Amino acid sequence: MARITIIGGGVIGLSIAFECQRRGHNVTVVEAQQCGGQASGAAAGMLAPYSEIEEDPDDFFRLCQRSLQLFPKWQEEIKRHSDIDFEYNESGSLYCIYHEADRLSLETKQAWQRKFNVESTILSAEEVRVKEPGLSRDVVAALWCPEESHIYAPGYVAALLQACRNLGVHVIEYVGDATLDGYAVVTKQERIESDQVVLAAGAWSMYWEKELGCTLPVYPIRGQICAYEAPPLNHIVFTSQGYLVAKANGSVVAGASEDIADFDTNVTEHGIGRLEKWSKKVMPVLEKMDPFHKWAGLRPATQDGFPLIGKLIKKPGVILATGHYRNGILLSPITAKIVADEIDQVPQQIAIGQFRPDRFQAI
Ligand code: GLY
C-alpha cells in the first residue's frame, strides 16, 4: 500500500484518487481552491472522440476510444460509491455539414474510423430531419455516431468527490500554494509524506516546473460557453464551428470558444457573440432567445496537443497526469487506470509512449 498525494482536485485528480484508493492505497488530494472549481466543473461533458478528433488515428485517438469504452461501467461505479446520481446520456451524435463539398471529409473520417470498429452512418438531409427535427433546413448531411455520449460535468465531479470521500480519500481543499520537499507535499498547514506524488493540476501545472526541475509546456486556453432554456435535442450536434448539447435540466449548451486569455475566466462579448450567431444558425428556435447562462473554463493545452501522463524519469516518485486539453472529462477513467497501473507496476495495455511527460526536455 503506497501513500499517494495527488496535487489537483479536478476531474483527473479525483479520478486517480478514486481508482488508487479502491485498489487499497492511502490517498490524499490537495487542491489549491475548491475541488472541481475550474475546467472540470465548467465542461460541457462531451464524450465524443469520433466527432472531436479530426486527425487520422494515432495513440491519442486510441486512448480516447478506450476511455469512451470504459465510461459505462466507470460512471456506474462512481454512482454506486457516491450514492449520487448524475446525468449520463448515451445520446449519440450528429456531425452536420452545410455544403456538399464537405461530404468528402465526412466520408474520410468515417473510412479511417471504421478500421477501429467505430459505428457510424452518413445520413441524408431527410434522415437528419427525422432524427433531429429542430435543426436548420440548411443541413445537407450528417455523420451519425451512435456510440458518443455526454455527461453532466458538475454532477459527475461532485459524485467523484463524494465517492473519494466515502472510500476514505483524505481531501484537503483551499490549500493555496504548495511545494515539494523530496516526495513530501508541503502546504502552509501541513507536510504530507508520500511514496508517490501525482501532479494533476490542469492549466496550473506549469507552476510546478521549477519544483520538478523539468519543462512543462502546459498553457491555459479559455473555452467560453453558454446555455439556453430551449426544447431538447436528441443528440449531441456538431458542426465544424462548435457543438450543441441538451442537458436533462432543460438547457441546451452551446460550446465552445478557444482563446488565449492567460488565467482569465470571464466571458467576452466577442466570444459569446460568435457562439450565439453560430448556434442560432444551427437550431433556428434559438433565434429569438438569449442565453440564460454564460461561463468559461481554462483547458490545459500542451505544446504538441497530447497529454502528459506517466512517471518522470529523473524523479520516478512523481507521476504527471495533466494537459488533457479538450478531453479531460472523456479521458478521466483511462488516465486513472494508467496512473494506478504505473503505481502498481502493472504493464500498460495501451501505448502511452507518446504521452511521456519528459518529452519536452532539452537533450
Ligand atoms: N470537449 C469540448 C470542449 O473542450 O469544448
Q: What is the CATH number of the domain that holds 194?
A: 3.50.50.60
Asked, as a colleague might, if the bond just before 246 is cis with ω within 30 of 0, I would say no
Q: What is the CATH number of the domain that holds 289?
A: 3.30.9.10
> 93 pLDDT exceeds 90?
yes
Q: Does one domain contain both 119 and 46?
A: no
Q: Whose CA is nearest to atom 3 of ligand 1?
A: 326
Question: What's the 25 CA to ligand 1 centre distance in angstroms?
Answer: 32
Q: Does one domain contain both 166 and 45?
A: yes
Residues 6+ apart with CB under 8 A from 55: 61
Task: Report residue 356 as a C-alpha cell.
Answer: 511521456
DSSP state of 22: H
Query: Is the shortest distance between the CB of 53 and ligand 1 below 6 Å?
Result: no
Position 280: which residue type? K
> 200 pLDDT exceeds 90?
yes
Q: Does one domain contain both 57 and 174?
A: yes
Question: What's the 241 CA to ligand 1 centre distance in angstroms?
Answer: 12
Q: Does one domain contain both 207 and 312?
A: yes
Segment 138-193, tens digit of pLDDT: 999 999 999 999 999 999 999 999 999 999 999 999 999 999 999 999 999 999 99
* pLDDT band at residue 362 using 50, 70 and 90 as cut-offs: low
Residue 127 belongs to some domain of the structure:
yes
Per-residue confidence (pLDDT) for residue 109, from 0 to 100: 92
> 294 pLDDT exceeds 60?
yes
Question: What's the 64 CA to ligand 1 centre distance in angstroms?
Answer: 13
To the nearest 10°, report the CA torsion of 107, 111, 114, 119.
0
Residue 88 belongs to some domain of the structure:
no
Q: Write down which residue in 129, 146, 163 finishes a domain.
A: 146
> 363 pLDDT exceeds 70?
no
Q: Does one domain contain both 59 and 192?
A: yes
Q: In Å, what is the CA distance from 92 to each residue of 70, 180, 237, 362?
A: 16, 44, 9, 43
Q: Does one domain contain both 20 and 74?
A: yes
Full residue range of the structural domain in which residue 187 is found: 3-83+152-215+306-359
Q: Does one domain contain both 71 and 202?
A: yes
Average pLDDT over residues 31-35: 96
Q: Is the pTM of this model over 0.85?
A: yes
Query: Is the shortest distance between the CB of 253 and ligand 1 below 6 Å?
Result: no
Question: What's the 47 CA to ligand 1 centre distance in angstroms?
Answer: 9
Ligand 1 atom showing the smallest separation from residue 326 Cα: 4
Q: Does one domain contain both 67 and 102?
A: no
Q: Does one domain contain both 69 and 188?
A: yes
Q: Is 359 left (phi over 0), alpha (psi -120 to 50) or beta?
A: alpha
Q: Does one domain contain both 223 and 211?
A: no
Per-residue confidence (pLDDT) for residue 68, from 0 to 100: 98
Q: In Å, what is the CA distance from 253 to each residue of 219, 225, 260, 276?
A: 25, 7, 21, 11
Distance CA(230)–CA(276), nearest Å, equals 13
The number of folded domains in the chain is 3
Q: Does one domain contain both 164 and 289?
A: no
Segment 49-87, tens digit of pLDDT: 999 987 777 899 999 999 999 999 999 999 999 999 999
Contact (Cβ atoms closer than 8 angstroms) between residue 68 and residue 327: no
Query: Is the shortest distance between the CB of 46 and ligand 1 below 6 Å?
Result: yes
Question: What's the 273 CA to ligand 1 centre distance in angstroms?
Answer: 18
